[in-house]
Amino acid sequence: MLSCSEEEQTHAHFNGCEKLNPDKHDHFLIGQGQWIGQLDIKKNKKIPFNFEVIQDSVFIINSEERIGAIINNYGDSILIKMPVFDSEFHFTKTTNGLAGYWYNNAKKNYKLPFTARLNKAGIKNRFDISQNNNYKIYDGEWETTFSQGSDEEYKAIAAFDQDQQYVAGTFITQTGDYRFLQGNISNDSILLSCFDGSHAFLFEGRLFDGVINGCFYSGSHWSEPWISSKNELFTLANPYSLTNQVKEKKLEFTFPGIDGKNVSYPSKYYDDKVVIIQILGSWCPNCVDETRFFTALHNQYQHRGLEIIGLAFEVPEELSDKIARVKDLKSHFQSSYEFLIAGSASKKEAQKALPVLSEVSSFPTTIFIGKKGEIRKIHTGFYGPGTGDYYAKYVSEVNVLVESLLSE
């Protein structure tokens, strides 16, 4: 198995720097066009990501995903504050491009060195690859095990969509997914990465004799091995079967809303309505994907009696700071449903706040409630748009379920 410390075994590395050409758009803060950035996570280990600069806007690109942000002056440096997630870039312009740091404020004293250069190789070339026809085929679905043989072992489905030496896809776990991954195939190696403002991921693997051995890096703070074998028939457990209702308990709570006023469930306002309880955190990318979906769902069905309550478990210690984070999330999607501050960012905290649930094993977890106030289904995790058909299937299931509950 490829050890996480065996960096020399991964022989496809990030492109070297190139000198910048003079930019005719001197009145913009950064040169226009396609860029490639990198985050240094350890010696000789970097997470690359693509972005495009249009005037004073930047668009982070992960496969089909584009995340927009504004470029601003910040004293003697330049600032890019990421939307939704509490993270930001501080950097200056250099001879070779850009240099500075990415700060993830959701973690204490967490920053990664950041550099970037103009990208002449094309948006699909995220890694430096061997330009030949002797590359392996990774296309399809692979039964995957992370941290095999350890107490942290868990299963996943690696779903890859390969076009010659370009590859996109994700890892689908029991409770969510690793969102939009993008990368390249070089000889027998697969290299995938993503940056979304919250997570910076790097997946490296090598295919030999039908088995991929690899290593997964999450920023500079976590790494673990993974192993995959081609298996289009492998499935994960039904996400509706993982969390149950404790029969002797009732679903009831009172938490402050983002206006500071307490909101309770049940209450007369929710009588004879279909209600979805969304257990989330604004720091959680899968929760953010779900919020985008639930915002559209609420807009579609609110007039027929659908209400959604987001119970947010947040990183900051102070209530005012928790409220600020959730306000950013609500504003970003222009969500019209209720968000409450339910506690701190912990599954144990969520379990304590909602003793009606047998366990809270994932952010997000979703409770579907009928018009009479009875819990009808509980869904653990969320398969986002990066999972393709899995996401489409879940969206269809939820729409059918909501239609059915509203018609009762």
Total Cβ atoms within 10 A of residue 26: 7
Token representation of residue 91: 């950097």
Tell me the pLDDT tens digit for each residue of 312-334: 999 999 999 999 999 999 999 99
111, pLDDT greater than 70: yes
- Give percent above pLDDT 70 in the chain: 94
Mean pLDDT of 184-190: 94
Q: Give the position of tokens 């289904």.
A: 377
List C-alpha distances in Å: 164 to 135, 141, 181, 183, 211: 8, 17, 16, 11, 19
Amino acid occupying residue 99: A
Question: Rounded distance, CA 105 to CA 84, Å?
Answer: 12
pLDDT on residue 134: 83
> For 111-196, where are the E strands, in sequence order?
111-118, 140-146, 154-163, 166-173, 181-186, 189-195
13, pLDDT greater than 90: no
pLDDT on residue 8: 34
Total Cβ atoms within 10 A of residue 399: 13
Tell me the pLDDT tens digit for each residue of 81-93: 999 999 999 999 9
Token representation of residue 275: 């209600």
Amino acid occupying residue 273: K
pLDDT on residue 130: 81
Which residues, other chains included, contact 163 with Cβ-Cβ below 8 Å and sequence gap of 6+?
none
Judged by DSSP in three states, 59 sits in strand
Between 24 and 30, residue with greater pLDDT: 30
pLDDT on residue 98: 98
347, pLDDT greater than 90: yes
Burial per residue of 139-155, b for 16 or more beta-carbon CB atoms within 10 angstroms, e otherwise: eebbbbebeeeeeeebb
Mean pLDDT of 134-158: 96
Least confident of 18-22, 55-59, 95-99, 220-224: 18-22
Residue 299 phi/psi, 5-degree rounding, is -60, -35
**Structural domains of the chain in order of their starting residue, each with its CATH number:** 7-118 (2.40.128), 140-230 (2.40.128.120), 253-407 (3.40.30.10)
pLDDT on residue 126: 93
Confidence of residue 26 (pLDDT cuts 50, 70, 90): low
Between 132 and 128, residue with greater pLDDT: 128
Question: Rounded distance, CA 344 to CA 358, Å?
Answer: 19
pLDDT on residue 33: 95
287, pLDDT greater than 90: yes
10, pLDDT greater than 60: no
Q: Are 215 and 189 in contact (CB under 8 A)?
A: no
Question: Rounded distance, CA 375 to CA 36, Å?
Answer: 47
The pLDDT mean for the chain works out to 93
Question: Rounded distance, CA 197 to CA 285, Å?
Answer: 9
Q: Pick from 401, 277, 385: which is nearest to 338 by CA?
A: 277
Beta-bridge partners for 46: 40
Question: Rounded distance, CA 264 to CA 267, Å?
Answer: 6
Q: Pick from 223, 268, 276, 291: which is nearest to 2 by CA?
A: 223
Question: Rounded distance, CA 209 to CA 206, Å?
Answer: 10
pLDDT on residue 6: 38
48, pLDDT greater than 50: yes
pLDDT on residue 131: 77
405, pLDDT greater than 60: yes
Mean pLDDT of 14-36: 65
